[in-house]
Amino acid sequence: MADSRDPFLAELERRGVSRRGFLGFCGTMATVLALPRSVGAQIAEAIETQEKPTLVWLEFQDCAGNSEAFLRAGRPTTADIILDTLSVDYHETIMAAAGHRAEENLDRVVREKAGGYIAVVEGSIPTGANGAYCTIGGRSALDIARRVCGGAAATIAIGTCATFGGLPAAAPNPTGALSVADAVPGVKNLINLPACPANAENLVAVVVYYLTFGRFPALDRYRRPMFAYGKSIHDNCERRAHYDAGQYVENWGDEGHRLGYCLYKMGCKGPVCYQNCPNVGWNESTNWPIGCGHPCIGCAEPDFWDKMTPFYSHVAGFPGFGLHSNVDRVGLLATAGVAAAFAAHGFVQLGKRWMSSGKHSEATEASAEQKGETS
Ligand code: SF4
Ligand code: SF4
């Protein structure tokens, strides 16, 4: 007998996700999107009822880390199921079709769904040697990106290679690698999701936002969604209190490291890197790099391979960062401020002990005598 329930809810149930679990996920998505948790009900309705968009996933000059992150689930989660229910008509790494059959799928989407599909681009686009460094089905990555992104309703550049050029574009950039924005200028509704790799939760959140509101979320000057890249790692870091208190790890494995002190002196780029890692976490929120005791290496920022290295040192020359930068001064001032506060607190405690010992009245009387105030 045919299953008359909503196909999406039936799929959730088949994979062991309860309705309560689904609603919890929608509330969490609202939180990730920096919306009131009550918007979760609206998100749930949209996910259940909206037709899922067709998505084509192009992969160019990269390590496939973003595809890995996309496919990462150790157990099926609601997010995976939502991504699974998207109509992914072309994805070189996971599709069963190969050769001409696969390329025909891509051509069909571009032809028949012009202006109505979402293109996801992973990897940078090499432009040297007329694009010969990366060709698929006899066409260069540059030609494919122009044709596919040119006809898409929106393009999501995923990972730092697609958004900023990444490792392939690091000096000396032998292949002339460019980001999507630079290789295909003027592409409609371009959304950048940088990081190495991008967090799949943020990709799901963009799709959920689109399904719920029929438009894409607000972007910053690098075309990154504000909900995910609006605050620095440093703003929300769980070690921030140690930074403010001037408590730093000085060497790997020292007492400060064991106590979870701030990693700034070990080269942490959290003060100049913007992403929601502290809030969203990685691997189903199991943990995140700084939570594991490793500094942020700034993977979500432009040119991070060139500008954020060496990873375990302060880097001079990066705007707002490096020795004698504002951040260092803030750290020093914060440390000085804390020291002053401790000193003041110490004086207060000393004063209290002093008063309770009776020396206060002796000293007050002596002082009054000197001023001729005693009768
Ligand atoms: S410097 Fe790094 S470890 Fe320290 S508080 Fe900032 S982000 Fe966290
Ligand atoms: S903590 Fe920093 S380096 Fe690590 S994933 Fe987040 S943005 Fe990238």
| Interval 321-357: pLDDT, tens | 554 455 555 445 444 443 343 333 333 333 333 333 3
Higher pLDDT, 344 or 250: 250
Residue whose tokens read 């609006």:
230
Length of the chain, in residues: 375
pLDDT at 269 over 50: yes
pLDDT at 320 over 90: no
Query: Residue with the nearest Cα to atom 6 of ligand 1?
Result: 234
Local structure of 259: helix, strand or coil = coil
pLDDT at 277 over 90: yes
Q: Which strand ranges, in their side-by-side order, compose the sheet holding 190-193?
A: 87-91, 54-59, 118-122, 154-158, 190-193
Higher pLDDT, 374 or 47: 47
**Which ligand 2 atom is nearest residue 273's CA?**
7
**Is the minimum distance from the CB of 300 to ligand 2 under 6 angstroms?**
yes
Higher pLDDT, 22 or 173: 173
Confidence category of residue 14, pLDDT binned at 50, 70, 90: confident
Please give the pLDDT value at position 169: 97
Q: How many CA atoms lie within 13 A of 213 on its CB side?
A: 15
Give CA–CA dist 177/167, Å, rounded: 9
Please give the pLDDT value at position 373: 35
Higher pLDDT, 179 or 15: 179
Residue whose tokens read 């500094």:
295
Q: Tell me, in angstroms, the distance from the centre of ligand 2 to residue 300's CA.
A: 7
Please give the pLDDT value at position 195: 96
Alpha helices in 50-98 (DSSP H): 65-70, 78-85
Q: Tell me the best of 243, 277, 328 to mutate to test the pocket of ligand 1, counting ligand atoms within 8 Å of each CB and taking the most.
A: 243
Ligand nearest 239 Cα, by number?
1
**Is the minimum distance from the CB of 274 to ligand 1 under 6 angstroms?**
no
Please give the pLDDT value at position 32: 85
**Burial environment of residue 140 by CB neighbours within 10 A (0 to 12, 13 to 18, 19 or more):** buried
Q: Tell me, in angstroms, the distance from the centre of ligand 1 to residue 313's CA.
A: 14
CB 256 within 8 A of CB 249: yes
Q: What whole-number percentage of the chain has pLDDT above 70?
A: 76
**Is the minimum distance from the CB of 159 to ligand 2 under 6 angstroms?**
no
**Is the minimum distance from the CB of 296 to ligand 2 under 6 angstroms?**
yes
Q: Among 78-87, 188-197, 267-276, which stretch is predicted with the lowest mean pLDDT?
A: 78-87
Give CA–CA dist 247/65, Å, rounded: 34
- Cα 299–chain centre separation: 9
**Is the minimum distance from the CB of 77 to ligand 2 under 6 angstroms?**
no
| Selection from 237, 157, 239 nearest residue 197 by Cα | 157
**Is the minimum distance from the CB of 297 to ligand 1 under 6 angstroms?**
no
**Is the minimum distance from the CB of 290 to ligand 1 under 6 angstroms?**
yes
Residues 6+ apart with CB under 8 A from 87: 52, 53, 54, 55
Give CA–CA dist 372/375, Å, rounded: 8
Give CA–CA dist 179/164, Å, rounded: 5
- Average pLDDT, rounded, for the chain: 80
Local structure of 360: helix, strand or coil = helix
- Give all domains of the chain, ordered by start, each with its CATH number: 10-41+50-227 (3.40.50.700), 231-355 (4.10.480.10)
Please give the pLDDT value at position 319: 53
pLDDT at 268 over 90: yes
Q: Among 14-28, 56-70, 269-283, 316-330, which stretch is predicted with the lowest mean pLDDT?
A: 316-330
**Which ligand 2 atom is nearest residue 301's CA?**
7
Q: Tell me, in angstroms, the distance from the centre of ligand 1 to residue 267's CA.
A: 9
Local structure of 219: helix, strand or coil = strand
**Is the minimum distance from the CB of 314 to ligand 1 under 6 angstroms?**
no
pLDDT at 231 over 50: yes
φ/ψ of 160, rounded to 5, equals -70, -25
**Which ligand 2 atom is nearest residue 269's CA?**
2
- The pLDDT tens digits of the residues spanning 148-165 come to 999 999 999 999 999 999
User: Measured on CA atoms in the order 322, 292, 298, 234, is the torsion positive or negative?
Assistant: negative
Ligand nearest 274 Cα, by number?
2
Confidence category of residue 91, pLDDT binned at 50, 70, 90: confident
pLDDT at 246 over 90: yes
Give CA–CA dist 308/295, Å, rounded: 12
- The pLDDT tens digits of the residues spanning 34-59 come to 888 889 899 888 888 877 788 889 99
**Is the minimum distance from the CB of 198 to ligand 2 under 6 angstroms?**
no
Ligand nearest 229 Cα, by number?
2
Give CA–CA dist 176/172, Å, rounded: 9
Q: Tell me the best of 232, 237, 274, 275 to mutate to test the pocket of ligand 2, counting ligand atoms within 8 Å of each CB and taking the most.
A: 275
Higher pLDDT, 187 or 28: 187
